[in-house]
């Protein structure tokens, strides 16, 4: 089968022939029909945060079950499935509490084991989540990270109806964070990005106010829009150290006795800090992916039409052009949000 693999750091993806995986008794073999290209894949292509190589990457995937192990009873051949990329033990205290993303024996598909930039992938059957008949493979694929990671971040932020929220970054995760903030009833959503076209898109996803920090002072906008009290929720999705510092400050207003919730989602390469008074009665969290149940919940919302991802996917490419997709992420190509691989050809 064909797979896009990184064999050595810093040279990008190579399209190569590898063997079709052999499944175990509790596994399924899935023929990939759609795989999303994430910002994490850009880091991998640059040689950053790499696991032992060679490795097939890709952690947003959906497809059709082709083969099932002898002990599998929950899915069958022919089922359309989204794939939850967190492989968990199911028995540690975090798994028992429904937080499999915090599993003490966690393995990540597309990092620790081969992922979805391939014709086929082997996964435990419990990681294959059935897709409703009216949800496309493309929607299901991006739901596996860009949509669900944002959902988890907004959920753990504690956002309540009428809360003011700010989202830094209007890429795949940031746009959906704005969408979920609006979905859960935020009073006002502020979106921040350096690319004006992305800010225009953010408005379509639910942002009420947009800020380009190269043209406006973000904290002054926050002060103006919140009457000086600061936002209730700040979510950093860009990975920018400067944005993370602003997120912490944005959640602090003129009241010395209150601070909002700050959630770091984008991969931060430098340490960040907050002082004691800057976090009084507030929270500072690093969001860790999402859990399996959240993926199921979002697919249900898509099935009923309460969530529409028609704007989320703006480019389709074959597997052989994966380096082009990564380059689109690196160059912030105008009008390109999420790119999906939907043809496994060279």
Beta strand pairing call for 283-286 and 188-192: unpaired
CB atoms within 10 A of CB 227: 10
What pLDDT does residue 334 have?
A: 66
- Report residue 78 as tokens: 């022919």
CB atoms within 10 A of CB 278: 15
What pLDDT does residue 169 have?
A: 96
- Burial 18-55, CB ≥16 within 10 A → b, else e: eebbebeeebbbbbbbbbbbbbbbbbbbeeeebeeeeb
Q: What is the mean pLDDT of the chain?
A: 95
275 CB contacts (<8 Å, ≥6 apart)? none
What pLDDT does residue 69 have?
A: 98
What pLDDT does residue 196 have?
A: 94
Among 288, 165, 182, 333, smallest CA distance to 234 is for 165
Give the CATH class of 149-286: alpha beta
What pLDDT does residue 335 have?
A: 66
Cα angle, residue 157 at apex, residues 167 and 228 outer, rounded to 5°: 60
DSSP code for 34: E
- Report residue 321 as tokens: 């052009």
Which residues does the chain have with pLDDT short of 70? 333-335
Distance CA 234, CA 157 (A): 8
Fold assignment, 2-130+312-343: Quinone Oxidoreductase; Chain A, domain 1 (3.90.180)
List the chain domain ranges.
Answer: 2-130+312-343, 149-286
pLDDT digits 0-9 by tens, 312-342: 998 899 999 999 999 988 887 666 778 999 9
Question: Would you say 259 and 192 are in contact if contact means Cβ atoms under 8 Å apart?
Answer: no
Rounded to two decimals, the pTM is 0.95
- Report residue 302 as tokens: 């898509």
What pLDDT does residue 125 have?
A: 98
């Amino acid at each position: 089968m064909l797979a896009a693999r990184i064999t050595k750091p810093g040279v990008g993806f190579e399209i190569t022939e590898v063997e079709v995986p052999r499944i175990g008794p509790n596994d399924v073999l899935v023929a990939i029909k759609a795989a999303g290209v994430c910002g994490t894949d850009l880091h991998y292509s640059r040689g950053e945060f790499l696991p032992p190589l060679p490795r097939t990457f890709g952690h947003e995937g959906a497809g059709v079950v082709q083969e099932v192990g002898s002990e599998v009873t929950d899915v069958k051949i022919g089922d359309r499935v989204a794939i939850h990329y967190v492989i968990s033990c199911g028995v540690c205290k975090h798994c028992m509490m429904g937080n499999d993303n915090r599993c003490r024996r966690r393995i990540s598909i597309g990092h620790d084991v081969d992922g979805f930039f391939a014709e086929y992938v082997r996964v435990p059957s419990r990681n294959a989540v059935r897709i409703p008949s009216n949800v496309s493979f493309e929607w299901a694929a991006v739901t596996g990270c860009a949509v669900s990671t944002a959902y988890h971040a907004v959920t753990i932020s504690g956002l309540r109806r009428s809360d003011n929220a700010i989202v830094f970054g209007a890429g795949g995760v940031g746009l959906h964070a704005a969408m979920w903030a609006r979905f859960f009833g935020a009073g006002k959503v502020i979106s921040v990005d350096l690319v004006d076209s992305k800010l225009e898109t953010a408005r379509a996803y639910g942002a009420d106010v947009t800020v380009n920090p190269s043209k406006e002072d973000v904290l002054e906008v926050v002060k103006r829009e919140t009457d000086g009290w600061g936002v209730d929720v700040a979510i950093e999705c860009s990975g920018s150290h400067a944005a993370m510092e602003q997120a912490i400050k944005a959640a602090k207003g003129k009241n010395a006795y209150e601070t909002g919730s700050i959630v770091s989602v984008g991969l931060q390469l430098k340490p960040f800090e907050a002082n004691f008074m800057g976090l009084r009665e507030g929270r500072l969290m690093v969001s860790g992916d999402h859990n399996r149940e959240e993926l199921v919940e979002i697919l249900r919302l898509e099935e009923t039409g309460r969530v529409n991802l028609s704007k989320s996917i703006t480019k389709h490419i074959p597997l052989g052009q994966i380096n082009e997709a990564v380059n689109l992420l690196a160059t912030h190509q105008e009008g390109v949000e999420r790119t999906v691989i939907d043809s496994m050809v060279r």
